Structure 1
Amino acid sequence: MTVSVTLPWPPKELSPNFRTRSHRLVSVRRKEYRKACFDAAWDRGIRPVQLLALKSVTFHPSGNYGYDDDNLRSRFKAGRDGLAEAMGVDDRTFNDVPHELGAVVKGGAIVALLEEIPVT
Protein backbone atom coordinates (compact mmCIF):
# COMPACT_ATOMS: atom_id res chain seq x y z
CA MET A 1 0.00 0.00 0.00
CA THR A 2 1.29 3.44 -0.94
CA VAL A 3 0.00 6.63 0.65
CA SER A 4 0.59 10.12 -0.74
CA VAL A 5 0.62 13.03 1.73
CA THR A 6 0.50 16.60 0.44
CA LEU A 7 2.25 18.99 2.79
CA PRO A 8 2.25 22.79 2.69
CA TRP A 9 5.15 24.69 1.15
CA PRO A 10 7.60 25.86 3.82
CA PRO A 11 7.59 29.57 4.69
CA LYS A 12 10.42 31.74 3.37
CA GLU A 13 11.69 32.28 6.92
CA LEU A 14 12.87 28.65 7.01
CA SER A 15 15.21 29.12 4.07
CA PRO A 16 18.89 28.99 5.07
CA ASN A 17 19.34 32.15 2.97
CA PHE A 18 16.70 34.11 4.92
CA ARG A 19 18.22 36.97 6.91
CA THR A 20 16.60 38.55 9.92
CA ARG A 21 17.52 39.94 13.29
CA SER A 22 14.50 38.26 14.84
CA HIS A 23 15.45 34.69 15.69
CA ARG A 24 12.13 34.43 17.48
CA LEU A 25 10.31 34.88 14.16
CA VAL A 26 12.21 31.94 12.65
CA SER A 27 11.55 29.82 15.73
CA VAL A 28 7.82 30.56 15.62
CA ARG A 29 7.62 29.78 11.86
CA ARG A 30 9.54 26.53 12.42
CA LYS A 31 7.08 25.39 15.12
CA GLU A 32 4.07 26.42 13.03
CA TYR A 33 5.35 24.58 9.97
CA ARG A 34 6.19 21.43 11.92
CA LYS A 35 2.65 21.40 13.35
CA ALA A 36 1.11 22.06 9.91
CA CYS A 37 2.95 19.05 8.44
CA PHE A 38 2.04 16.88 11.42
CA ASP A 39 -1.61 17.89 11.03
CA ALA A 40 -1.57 17.24 7.25
CA ALA A 41 -0.23 13.72 7.83
CA TRP A 42 -2.66 13.13 10.70
CA ASP A 43 -5.59 14.30 8.55
CA ARG A 44 -4.48 11.83 5.87
CA GLY A 45 -4.79 9.02 8.43
CA ILE A 46 -1.10 8.54 9.23
CA ARG A 47 -0.68 7.11 12.74
CA PRO A 48 2.35 5.89 14.73
CA VAL A 49 0.93 2.35 14.94
CA GLN A 50 1.30 1.85 11.17
CA LEU A 51 4.52 0.48 9.74
CA LEU A 52 5.27 3.07 7.07
CA ALA A 53 8.48 4.20 5.39
CA LEU A 54 9.11 7.42 3.50
CA LYS A 55 9.92 6.49 -0.11
CA SER A 56 10.24 9.85 -1.88
CA VAL A 57 9.69 13.58 -1.53
CA THR A 58 8.71 15.84 -4.43
CA PHE A 59 8.95 19.61 -4.10
CA HIS A 60 6.36 21.52 -6.14
CA PRO A 61 7.32 25.22 -5.96
CA SER A 62 4.87 28.06 -6.52
CA GLY A 63 6.97 29.56 -9.32
CA ASN A 64 10.00 29.00 -11.51
CA TYR A 65 12.54 30.16 -8.96
CA GLY A 66 16.11 28.93 -8.82
CA TYR A 67 15.74 26.46 -5.96
CA ASP A 68 18.62 24.11 -5.31
CA ASP A 69 18.23 20.77 -3.59
CA ASP A 70 20.22 21.48 -0.41
CA ASN A 71 18.25 24.65 0.33
CA LEU A 72 14.95 22.86 -0.30
CA ARG A 73 15.92 20.05 2.06
CA SER A 74 17.01 22.53 4.74
CA ARG A 75 13.83 24.52 4.34
CA PHE A 76 11.77 21.33 4.74
CA LYS A 77 13.58 20.13 7.91
CA ALA A 78 10.83 21.23 10.34
CA GLY A 79 8.17 19.66 8.10
CA ARG A 80 10.15 16.45 7.96
CA ASP A 81 10.22 16.41 11.76
CA GLY A 82 6.44 16.86 11.87
CA LEU A 83 5.94 14.04 9.36
CA ALA A 84 8.26 11.75 11.34
CA GLU A 85 6.37 12.57 14.53
CA ALA A 86 3.04 11.68 12.90
CA MET A 87 4.55 8.41 11.63
CA GLY A 88 6.06 7.64 15.04
CA VAL A 89 9.59 7.22 13.67
CA ASP A 90 12.94 8.92 14.09
CA ASP A 91 13.63 11.19 11.11
CA ARG A 92 17.09 9.60 10.78
CA THR A 93 15.31 6.88 8.79
CA PHE A 94 14.69 9.52 6.09
CA ASN A 95 18.40 10.01 5.27
CA ASP A 96 18.50 8.08 1.98
CA VAL A 97 15.10 9.20 0.69
CA PRO A 98 15.23 10.62 -2.87
CA HIS A 99 14.13 14.23 -3.31
CA GLU A 100 13.11 15.76 -6.61
CA LEU A 101 11.79 19.00 -8.01
CA GLY A 102 8.33 18.62 -9.53
CA ALA A 103 5.96 20.80 -11.50
CA VAL A 104 4.97 24.29 -10.40
CA VAL A 105 1.68 24.41 -8.45
CA LYS A 106 -0.19 27.40 -7.11
CA GLY A 107 0.91 28.13 -3.54
CA GLY A 108 3.55 25.39 -3.68
CA ALA A 109 3.35 21.96 -2.06
CA ILE A 110 5.48 19.05 -0.99
CA VAL A 111 4.30 15.53 -1.78
CA ALA A 112 5.63 12.72 0.40
CA LEU A 113 5.14 9.13 -0.72
CA LEU A 114 4.84 6.64 2.13
CA GLU A 115 4.89 2.89 1.67
CA GLU A 116 3.75 0.20 4.05
CA ILE A 117 6.54 -1.99 5.39
CA PRO A 118 5.60 -5.66 5.00
CA VAL A 119 5.63 -7.65 8.22
CA THR A 120 7.39 -10.97 7.88
Structure 2
Amino acid sequence: MTTDSKLEKKLLGDLQTDFPLAARPYLQLAKTCGSGEQEVIETISDLLARGKIRRISANFDSKALGYVSALVGAEVAPAHLEAVADYVSRHPGVTHNYERFHTFNLWFTIAVY
Protein backbone atom coordinates (compact mmCIF):
# COMPACT_ATOMS: atom_id res chain seq x y z
CA MET A 1 0.00 0.00 0.00
CA THR A 2 1.31 3.41 -0.92
CA THR A 3 0.55 6.11 1.61
CA ASP A 4 0.82 9.86 1.54
CA SER A 5 3.79 10.88 3.68
CA LYS A 6 1.90 13.97 4.89
CA LEU A 7 -0.86 11.70 6.20
CA GLU A 8 1.69 9.41 7.86
CA LYS A 9 3.43 12.34 9.57
CA LYS A 10 0.12 13.80 10.77
CA LEU A 11 -1.04 10.41 12.06
CA LEU A 12 2.25 9.70 13.83
CA GLY A 13 1.99 13.02 15.64
CA ASP A 14 -1.68 12.62 16.53
CA LEU A 15 -1.26 9.02 17.68
CA GLN A 16 1.42 10.11 20.15
CA THR A 17 -0.14 13.27 21.49
CA ASP A 18 -3.84 13.53 20.81
CA PHE A 19 -5.43 10.10 20.31
CA PRO A 20 -9.20 10.64 20.46
CA LEU A 21 -11.20 8.91 23.17
CA ALA A 22 -14.26 8.18 21.08
CA ALA A 23 -16.40 5.28 19.91
CA ARG A 24 -14.74 5.61 16.48
CA PRO A 25 -11.31 7.12 17.13
CA TYR A 26 -10.06 6.45 13.61
CA LEU A 27 -12.97 8.42 12.18
CA GLN A 28 -12.02 11.32 14.45
CA LEU A 29 -8.39 11.06 13.32
CA ALA A 30 -9.55 10.99 9.71
CA LYS A 31 -11.47 14.23 10.19
CA THR A 32 -8.42 16.01 11.63
CA CYS A 33 -6.24 14.64 8.81
CA GLY A 34 -8.65 15.46 5.99
CA SER A 35 -8.86 11.78 5.13
CA GLY A 36 -11.30 8.90 5.27
CA GLU A 37 -11.66 6.49 8.17
CA GLN A 38 -10.71 3.44 6.09
CA GLU A 39 -7.61 5.18 4.72
CA VAL A 40 -6.51 6.02 8.28
CA ILE A 41 -7.02 2.40 9.37
CA GLU A 42 -5.07 1.11 6.36
CA THR A 43 -2.29 3.64 6.86
CA ILE A 44 -1.92 2.73 10.53
CA SER A 45 -1.90 -0.98 9.61
CA ASP A 46 0.83 -0.26 7.09
CA LEU A 47 2.86 1.72 9.64
CA LEU A 48 2.57 -1.22 12.06
CA ALA A 49 3.58 -3.73 9.38
CA ARG A 50 6.62 -1.63 8.43
CA GLY A 51 7.69 -1.27 12.05
CA LYS A 52 7.22 2.51 12.09
CA ILE A 53 5.01 2.04 15.17
CA ARG A 54 5.10 -0.96 17.50
CA ARG A 55 1.65 -0.76 19.04
CA ILE A 56 -1.18 1.54 19.95
CA SER A 57 -1.91 1.56 23.66
CA ALA A 58 -2.75 3.87 26.51
CA ASN A 59 0.00 5.48 28.54
CA PHE A 60 -0.88 6.60 32.06
CA ASP A 61 1.00 8.86 34.43
CA SER A 62 1.55 6.20 37.08
CA LYS A 63 2.91 8.67 39.64
CA ALA A 64 -0.19 10.87 39.35
CA LEU A 65 -2.31 7.76 39.93
CA GLY A 66 -0.44 6.93 43.14
CA TYR A 67 1.94 4.30 41.80
CA VAL A 68 5.68 4.09 42.24
CA SER A 69 7.80 2.59 39.53
CA ALA A 70 11.32 1.32 39.09
CA LEU A 71 13.64 0.26 36.33
CA VAL A 72 15.35 -2.96 37.39
CA GLY A 73 18.53 -4.45 35.96
CA ALA A 74 19.27 -8.03 37.00
CA GLU A 75 22.15 -10.39 36.42
CA VAL A 76 20.60 -13.75 35.57
CA ALA A 77 22.44 -16.94 34.66
CA PRO A 78 21.92 -17.43 30.91
CA ALA A 79 20.51 -20.92 31.48
CA HIS A 80 17.74 -19.41 33.63
CA LEU A 81 17.10 -16.20 31.72
CA GLU A 82 13.95 -17.30 29.89
CA ALA A 83 12.38 -18.82 33.01
CA VAL A 84 13.15 -15.74 35.12
CA ALA A 85 11.85 -13.40 32.42
CA ASP A 86 8.63 -15.43 32.17
CA TYR A 87 8.22 -15.33 35.96
CA VAL A 88 8.82 -11.57 36.14
CA SER A 89 6.42 -10.92 33.27
CA ARG A 90 3.57 -12.57 35.16
CA HIS A 91 3.52 -9.70 37.67
CA PRO A 92 0.72 -7.32 36.60
CA GLY A 93 2.89 -4.26 37.29
CA VAL A 94 5.63 -5.22 34.82
CA THR A 95 5.30 -3.18 31.65
CA HIS A 96 8.60 -3.92 29.88
CA ASN A 97 10.92 -6.91 30.16
CA TYR A 98 13.94 -7.21 27.87
CA GLU A 99 17.14 -9.19 27.53
CA ARG A 100 20.24 -7.06 27.17
CA PHE A 101 23.79 -8.04 26.29
CA HIS A 102 25.41 -6.72 29.45
CA THR A 103 26.37 -8.05 32.89
CA PHE A 104 22.87 -7.05 33.93
CA ASN A 105 21.19 -9.05 31.20
CA LEU A 106 17.52 -8.69 32.19
CA TRP A 107 15.91 -5.26 32.43
CA PHE A 108 12.29 -4.60 33.33
CA THR A 109 10.07 -1.83 34.61
CA ILE A 110 7.57 -2.38 37.37
CA ALA A 111 4.90 -0.11 38.84
CA VAL A 112 3.08 -0.87 42.11
CA TYR A 113 0.47 0.96 44.14
- Give me the TM-score of the superposition, normalised by structure 1: 0.24
Higher relative contact order (CA 8 A, sep 6+): 1
Larger radius of gyration, structure 1 or 2? Answer: 2
